[in-house]
Amino acid sequence: MKQQLEQIKSQAMAALDAAQTPAALDELRVKFLGKKGELTAVLKQMGKLSAEERPVMGQLANAVRAEIEEKLETRKAAIHAAVLEAKLVQEAIDVTIPGTPVTMGHEHPMNKVLQEIKDIFVGMGYQIVDGPEVELASYNFTRLNIEEGHPSRDRSDTFYFTDDDAVLLRTQTSPMQIRVMENAKPPICILAPGRVYRKDEADATHSPMFHQIEGLVVDEHITMGNLKGALETLMKRLYGEDAVMRFRPHHFPFTEPSCEMDMQCHKCHGTGEVDGNVCSTCHGEGWIELLGAGMVHPAVLECCGIDPEKYSGFAFGMGLERMAMRRTRINDLRLIFDNDVRFLNQF
């Protein structure tokens, strides 16, 4: 019997050492220690032993059971550790492997310049307003004093939606003057940037869609001096203190008097020549036209219910692309709309 027990023990130890999975361990537990297991089978023969032998064998059997149980526990822990280790190795993340690059977008240079311009005007107390791109002809033209038959209303210049030419894609941001004035009482001080549309072929300086920024200030005692002050502040903040401007008389139906503002060419400093050649930036003019402006026409104030005897105002409208080209030294308008990241990344 002693021999049998020794044999069970050595078999169990060898088998447990060889087992590699928790399931295999469980099978061995049943095989050696279970109710129908080998150890139990031996113990059932205890009755045949003598009274002296029985406690000795009993002790031995218990010792064998304890050893097998202990071995089971150590193997269980070892297998568990091995499984965990294998899993850790398999699922390890190498944080030093370079990641897949995510290509980020880039802020458009024109938006950057727009933001700068907005900041400058907000600093002077202007409120930024937004309005529709699909506009009524009455706002885009009629109420701005642009009568029927005016060349800018021509179908060859304007995108109309309806046969009666009553609805169109706005050709300028000036209708925002009407939209603001018919809904607000002076003092009014707004800036309205947005897209405008004209039937133009795209070339270095034209695009059928472009951006304008409209400004409007209406209050008592507003003069041309206020207009000049606002625009000079803009130019110096945007282009530097040494920027030189000039105002030229001009005509717009919705302002009286009207003017255009030019900026001295930064390339030839107003001379029109670079190294004896005609300056390519201003085409020899010495000046670059930047915007239209003027004092709001009394008829425009009146049609919005504002008393021109009491109030006066100034307005201006500038092309954002032109401002951005000057600011960023881009020489072809199409680059602004192509959205080639190699170009955009330079800003």
**Those residues with Cβ within 8 angstroms of residue 189's Cβ, 6 or more apart along the chain or in another chain:** 125, 126, 127, 216, 217, 219
Q: How far is the CB of 169 from ligand DAH (least distance, A)?
A: 13
Binding status of residue 230 toward ligand DAH by CB under 6 A: no
Strands 209-219 and 255-264 turn out to be: unpaired
Binding status of residue 316 toward ligand DAH by CB under 6 A: yes
Residue 214 half-sphere exposure toward CB, CA atoms < 13 A: 23
Query: Which listed range, 20-28, 113-121, 314-322, 338-346, lies at the site for ligand DAH (CB under 6 A)?
Result: 314-322
**Those residues with Cβ within 8 angstroms of residue 252's Cβ, 6 or more apart along the chain or in another chain:** 258, 292, 294
- Alpha-carbon gap, residue 300 to 255, rounded angstroms: 8
113, 320 in Cβ contact below 8 A?
A: yes
Residue (187 or 257) nearer to ligand DAH, CB: 257
Residue 276 DSSP code:
T
Q: How far is the CB of 97 from ligand DAH (least distance, A)?
A: 56
Residues in the interface with ligand DAH (CB under 6 A) total: 11
Binding status of residue 262 toward ligand DAH by CB under 6 A: no
Which one of residues 192, 292, 306, 326 is an interface residue with ligand DAH (CB under 6 A)? 292
Binding status of residue 174 toward ligand DAH by CB under 6 A: yes
Q: Is 152 helix (H, G, I), strand (E, B) or coil?
A: helix
Binding status of residue 145 toward ligand DAH by CB under 6 A: no
Residue (231 or 330) nearer to ligand DAH, CB: 231
Can you say how many angstroms the Cα of residue 76 is from the centroid of all Cα atoms in its chain?
55
Residue (239 or 316) nearer to ligand DAH, CB: 316
Binding status of residue 255 toward ligand DAH by CB under 6 A: yes
Q: How far is the CB of 332 from ligand DAH (least distance, A)?
A: 21
Neighbours of 182 (CB within 10 A): 13
Binding status of residue 294 toward ligand DAH by CB under 6 A: yes
Which one of residues 172, 207, 264, 312 is an interface residue with ligand DAH (CB under 6 A)? 172
Which one of residues 252, 261, 270, 300 is an interface residue with ligand DAH (CB under 6 A)? 252
The residue ranges of DSSP E strands in 127-253, in sequence order, are: 127-128, 134-136, 167-169, 188-197, 209-219, 245-252
Judged by the rule CB under 6 A, the positions of this chain that interact with ligand DAH are 172, 174, 214, 252, 255, 292-294, 315-317
